[in-house]
């Protein structure tokens, strides 16, 4: 594991006890299906149906990258593969955005890929700067060149989705390619969800528009979830600063995608050769902390604190649960809907007066670390929930960790109408931060989900005054 990863350790937590929760395009083309050029001239209409593909390449912002797209279609064997190139390349704009059109109706899915050439530049979104192979450092907010080996991929539904191209979507496509059906919509959707789970991101986070981390004070509104995605992507570049083994972000991406393509997994704590999940999460936590010093907006600063906290907690989970050598993240994520009936027993968690499952000081589980990193002070409009996983089912049968698919937290301002839901697809997670709570009393409860799709009854509710 990298030195950065070694600096992350267990810290005391702010705990809310619960009843069952203890605690653009700059090219001009002459063909009829070409995109709008830099002059803004309208697209010529060839009379045939066209589907628009739009999005942005963010790691940081990638300017003048070459973007292409292919429809994904199934062959006679039912395997989804990329069809012939249906549109000429377009270049990304100064904000990383792109727009192109594919021949045919706006249905099905498309695979989108960005490649770099001598004109492509990327904004350095890593603090204090981006180290280069020649020994120079590019300042935060300035641009650096990318080698011809740099590429990003993403995929999406042509009807409903904007396709963002980031290191995380690149990993998701590599994971989906291992599926027996090829790059099918189901395989891609599952792969996106799996990568979100690896990095502790909210469901659907890879479909969010990643903000430009070098211009945060100029943003009108940005969510903590979108910030977390952007910072996780920035962490890939931050690793170049920390290890002479990696000369460029292309090297980092190649190592990670090779792991995923070969095994469907990524190393958890690292083996001294390959990069690990812990490396990325630790770098993301550090970048979240450093970014707080660059912004004037108190609102954005608070959200950066939340992102830092999430990454610290994710690292702690990794260090606690996956401390055995050669442990890796599997390429599975349970997305089965639970039935209305319940067979999981969640009564092994004490009531709200019992603090046996809470953490009140430094955690006692040891992790392979050497130094301490203080946890950030959380904003007042947040709540940290902590719980203990059940050990038995309702009928008394034992329940192992391998049988638990995850948890579901519900909350709201009316104890009889908990209409907000957060899903946790990782049985090893034992706490959750809920943020952006408005003033008032908030009520929380949870249930456990097993790998067969069963779910427990809701726990009793507890509350916190915001």
Higher pLDDT, 439 or 430: 439
Higher pLDDT, 78 or 3: 78
In three-state secondary structure terms, 301 is helix
Residue 172 has pLDDT above 70, yes or no: yes
Residue 325 has pLDDT above 50, yes or no: no
Q: Can you give the pTM of this predicted structure?
A: 0.70
Confidence of residue 10 (pLDDT cuts 50, 70, 90): very low
Residue 387 has pLDDT above 70, yes or no: yes
- Token duo for residue 185: 């919509």
Nearest to 199 by CA among 309, 305, 290, 315: 315
Stretch among 56-70, 88-102, 109-123, 385-399 having the lowest mean pLDDT? 385-399
Cα–Cα distances (Å) from 76 to 62, 73, 83, 246, 253, in that order, read 38, 10, 13, 42, 33
Residue 245 has pLDDT above 90, yes or no: no
Nearest to 187 by CA among 176, 195, 203: 176
* Mean pLDDT score across all residues of the chain: 78
């Amino acid at each position: 594991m990298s030195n950065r990863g070694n600096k992350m350790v267990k810290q005391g937590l702010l705990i809310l006890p619960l009843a069952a929760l203890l605690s653009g395009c700059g090219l001009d083309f002459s063909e009829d299906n070409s995109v709008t050029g830099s002059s803004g001239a309208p697209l010529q209409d060839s009379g045939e149906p066209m589907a628009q593909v739009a999005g942005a390449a963010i790691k940081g912002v990638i300017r003048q990258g070459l973007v292409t797209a292919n429809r994904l279609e199934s062959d006679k064997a039912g395997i989804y593969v990329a069809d012939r190139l249906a549109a000429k390349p377009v270049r990304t704009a100064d904000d990383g955005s792109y727009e192109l059109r594919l021949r045919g109706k706006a249905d099905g899915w498309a695979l989108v890929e960005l490649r770099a050439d001598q004109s492509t530049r990327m904004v350095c979104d890593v603090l204090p700067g981006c180290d280069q192979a020649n020994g120079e450092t590019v300042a935060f907010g300035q641009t650096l060149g990318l080698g011809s080996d740099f590429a990003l991929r993403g995929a999406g539904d042509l009807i409903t989705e904007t396709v963002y191209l980031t290191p995380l979507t690149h990993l998701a496509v590599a994971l989906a390619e291992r599926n027996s059906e090829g790059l099918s919509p189901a395989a891609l959707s599952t792969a996106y969800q799996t990568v979100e789970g690896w990095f502790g991101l909210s469901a659907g986070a890879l479909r969010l528009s990643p903000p430009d981390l070098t211009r945060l004070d100029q943003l009108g509104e940005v969510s903590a979830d979108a910030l977390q995605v952007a910072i996780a992507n920035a962490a890939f570049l931050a690793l170049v600063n920390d290890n002479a083994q990696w000369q460029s972000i292309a090297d980092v991406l190649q190592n990670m995608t090779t792991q995923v393509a070969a095994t469907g997994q990524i190393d958890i704590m690292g083996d001294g050769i390959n990069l690990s999940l812990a490396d990325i999460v630790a770098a993301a936590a550090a970048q979240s902390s450093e970014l707080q010093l660059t912004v004037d907006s108190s609102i954005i600063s608070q959200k950066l604190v939340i992102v830092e906290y999430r990454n610290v907690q994710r690292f702690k989970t990794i260090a606690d649960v996956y401390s055995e050598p050669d442990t890796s993240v599997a390429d599975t994520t349970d997305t089965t809907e639970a039935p209305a009936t319940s067979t999981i027993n969640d009564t092994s968690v004490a009531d709200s007066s019992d603090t046996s499952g809470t953490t009140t000081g430094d955690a006692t589980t040891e992790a392979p670390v050497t130094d301490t990193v203080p946890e950030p002070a959380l904003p007042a409009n947040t709540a940290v929930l902590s719980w203990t996983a059940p050990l038995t089912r309702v009928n008394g049968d034992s329940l192992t960790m391998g049988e638990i698919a995850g948890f579901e937290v519900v909350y709201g301002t009316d104890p009889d109408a908990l209409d907000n839901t957060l899903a946790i697809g990782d049985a090893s997670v034992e706490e959750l931060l809920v943020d952006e709570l408005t003033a008032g009393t908030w009520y929380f409860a949870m249930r456990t989900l097993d790998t067969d799709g069963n779910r427990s009854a809701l726990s009793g509710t507890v509350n916190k005054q915001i």
